[in-house]
Amino acid sequence: MNASPPAASTPRLSRPTVVVVALNDRRTQAYVLASALAIATRADVTVLRPSVDGARLESAYGLVRLVDVAIDVPLTDQAIDARTRRRVAVLPVRIVDRAAGVAWRAFDRARSRIAMAGRSPEGRQEAEALDHAMAREIDALAPDVIHAHGVVVALAASRASARLVRSGRATPWIFDVGHWPLGLPTPGARSPRELAGWRTLERSLVAGAARVVSSQPVGREVSLQDAYADVAGFEVGSVTLGGDADPGVAVGTIAAQVLPSPIRIGVGPANSAGQGWAWADAAARLIPDVTHEVIAIDSGRFAYPCDVSVSARRYARDATWADRVTERALAQWTHAIFEAGRPILGTRHGRDFRGDEGVLRAAGIRTALAFHGSEIRDPRRHVLTHQYSPFQDVGDPMTRTLQAKVDALLPLIAAFGGPIFVSTPDLLDYLPNAAWLPVVVDARGWPSPRPLWSRPIPLVVHAPSNAALKGTRDVEQVLTPLANRGLIEYRRIEGVAQSEVARVVADADVVVDQLLLGLYGVLACEGMALGRVVVGNVGDTLRSRVPTEVPVIEADPSTLAAVIAEILDSRSDAASHAADGPAFVTEWHDGRRSAQALEAFLSEPGRT
């Protein structure tokens, strides 16, 4: 493969500008600065925040410019002063001031417990003050992107974006909800009335944001989807955190992908095992001037990183969302990869890739297809070449469903004239004109693996994404009796976050992948990367397609018991085999080979 960068088809853009607006709060400062530094690797970043002493001050934090903006009225006093003036006007007689004060405090306590926003909530006044102070600074910078940390500054970001758009400069804004629950801008805001006021303001702004992101760990993006289910066009920027990942860096990386670039690739909507994101991220890291927009349908089961997370219902039915994505794609994308034969832009152009592909191609956007496995693996052919194929029973509902999907998709692929990629070499049996786009395993932030064989009883792990396809029944027929005899500890992992899978695999001695399909996938790569003994059904055909030896110990349902017994009896030999795993994954699955596979496609100029 050619390791050189793609030919420059479009001149490099000048360095873009990002304005970050945030409160000057020591509790959030580290998070804000970490995200700003992550963006600063790609853009000139200025952080605007209210001055703590009322004076304008400029400073720097690494590559980030900091501007403390003077606010005319202290934010916490503004609403209180206005309220006091109103109440004095109502009760001007000083002799009743004390009694009035007691009465007003009782009234405030009762009112605060009512979850209803007032006509002019205090939070709105604070947001207006910040907008007034920051507007001139933002307009003078004329940024390419505005990143707002919290609902208090979201109003300033939203209005600045609108002003810049009216002036002819398309400036999207990102709404970062940070660490706290929706509508809770600072740790001090607690009353139901105040929360209702912030939520009212937030909901009036959120649909206009280019992304809504959160620093919360895995699963936070699901709650964002639920909270804004009725807001037409709403989009979540999904961040999955694990290991020692810094939330500010993770969110900043997402925010950076909104920046303009000469090569912008749209990928979606499957993101199977997070590979849509992993491929796009590898291209952005390793090929100059590439950014991405990875759109993923939220399955509700696994939370993998993406740029835009969309619920299945919104993807299928929300015309406003589809309009926004389509408008953005036609304006910004130069290339697009359709995963699993599905449309990226929702279902308005049909339920397969053809309608969207025609729309994008007509705009000069280069298109390609990528397949992950079951959507293109032909059961009828697989059973002829694999002795233990899970598709032996042609009447099985799973087999019938998969066969129907493949039969419908293959003719559409045959008529497609662009590049085709497959995630594992076995899929070349069904798409011989495709190119292998290796899965990517990013071990950054993973836990350190425990030394092999250091447990009193070896831990054997199996993590099936689909038990019927992976041969889980055969696996457990062998491993469960061994566990019952105390020879091993057996742990089956299902339905947990990616970070938890990595933690368990790092603690394991042996990882049993799958026994039926003739491949090695993401789990096997994770096990090899962590130096575990990996067992699976790879097969001679696939091994012949990989130039170096695949350090997976071969097994199938008939041999697994003997293979496990030999591993336990000859632990030093197994450890020697496992030691080859990290280098193999570095060679083939750290993203470099994947970027090289995408290089020729991305070097083809879009919008010519």
Residue-wise pLDDT for 136-195, tens only, equals: 999 999 998 999 988 889 999 999 999 998 888 888 888 887 655 454 444 444 566 666
Q: What is the pLDDT of residues 366-380, one digit of tens each?
A: 999 999 999 999 999
71 and 131 in a single domain? The answer is: yes
Q: What's 276's domain CATH number?
A: 3.40.50
Mean confidence (pLDDT) of the chain: 83
Residue 268: other Cβ atoms inside 10 A: 29
383 and 487 in a single domain? The answer is: no
Q: For residue 206, is it within any domain?
A: yes
Q: What is the pLDDT of residues 502-550, one digit of tens each?
A: 899 999 999 999 999 999 999 999 999 999 999 999 999 999 999 999 9
- For every residue of 474-498, DSSP letters joined together read HHHHHHHHHHHTTS-EEEE--S--H
Give the dihedral sign, CA 138/144/148/151. positive
230 and 161 in a single domain? The answer is: yes
302's CB contacts (< 8 A; 6+ apart) are 273, 274, 495, 497, 498
Q: For residue 451, is it within any domain?
A: no
117 and 233 in a single domain? The answer is: yes
Q: What is the pLDDT of residue 321?
A: 87
Q: What is the pLDDT of residue 190?
A: 52
Q: How far apart are CA 386 and CA 391, in angstroms?
A: 10
pLDDT band of 21, cuts 50, 70, 90: very high
The fraction of the chain above a pLDDT of 90, given in percent, is: 55
209 and 82 in a single domain? The answer is: yes
Contact (CB, 8 A) for 386 and 398: no
Domain termination residue (choose one: 259, 277, 309): 259
Q: For residue 27, is it within any domain?
A: yes
Q: How far apart are CA 217 and CA 79, in angstroms?
A: 35
Q: How far apart are CA 137 and CA 139, in angstroms?
A: 6
Q: For residue 450, is it within any domain?
A: no
Q: For residue 424, is it within any domain?
A: yes
Domain termination residue (choose one: 223, 240, 259): 259
Contact (CB, 8 A) for 592 and 285: no
130 and 225 in a single domain? The answer is: yes
In the predicted model, is pLDDT for residue 4 greater than 60?
A: no
326 and 417 in a single domain? The answer is: yes
Q: For residue 448, is it within any domain?
A: no
Q: What is the pLDDT of residue 243?
A: 43
Q: What is the pLDDT of residue 305?
A: 82
In the predicted model, is pLDDT for residue 328 greater than 90?
A: no
Q: Distance of CA 313 to CAs 179, 182, 377, Å?
A: 27, 22, 27
Mean pLDDT calculated for residue range 244-261: 66
289 and 228 in a single domain? The answer is: no
388 and 288 in a single domain? The answer is: yes
Q: What is the pLDDT of residues 202-223, one digit of tens each?
A: 777 877 888 777 765 433 443 4
Q: What is the pLDDT of residue 226?
A: 56
229 and 85 in a single domain? The answer is: yes
Give me the residue label for tokens 């929702």: 346
Beta partners for residue 175, in sequence order? 148, 212
Residue 324: other Cβ atoms inside 10 A: 21
Domain termination residue (choose one: 214, 234, 259): 259
State which amino acid sits at residue 451: P
Q: What is the pLDDT of residues 40-54, one digit of tens each?
A: 888 899 999 998 777
Mean pLDDT calculated for residue range 287-300: 88
Q: How far apart are CA 46 and CA 65, in angstroms?
A: 5
179 and 275 in a single domain? The answer is: no
Q: What is the pLDDT of residue 88?
A: 56
Q: What is the pLDDT of residue 263?
A: 92
223: containing domain: 18-259
Q: How many domains does the chain have?
A: 3
Nearest-5° angle of CA 395, CA 400, CA 406?
150
Q: What is the pLDDT of residues 51-97, one digit of tens each?
A: 877 788 999 999 999 999 988 655 444 445 445 555 555 555 444 55
364 and 493 in a single domain? The answer is: no
Q: For residue 173, is it within any domain?
A: yes
State the alpha helices, DSSP H only, in 467-591: 467-470, 472-484, 498-507, 522-529, 540-545, 560-569, 571-578, 581-589
Q: Distance of CA 401 to CAs 96, 121, 202, 342, 405, Å?
A: 79, 55, 43, 16, 6
Three-state DSSP at 309 gives strand
Task: List the one residue out of 16, 51, 17, 45 whose CA is nearest residue 33.
Answer: 45
Q: What's 207's domain CATH number?
A: 3.40.50.2000
196's CB contacts (< 8 A; 6+ apart) are 115, 116, 117, 121, 183
Q: For residue 452, is it within any domain?
A: no
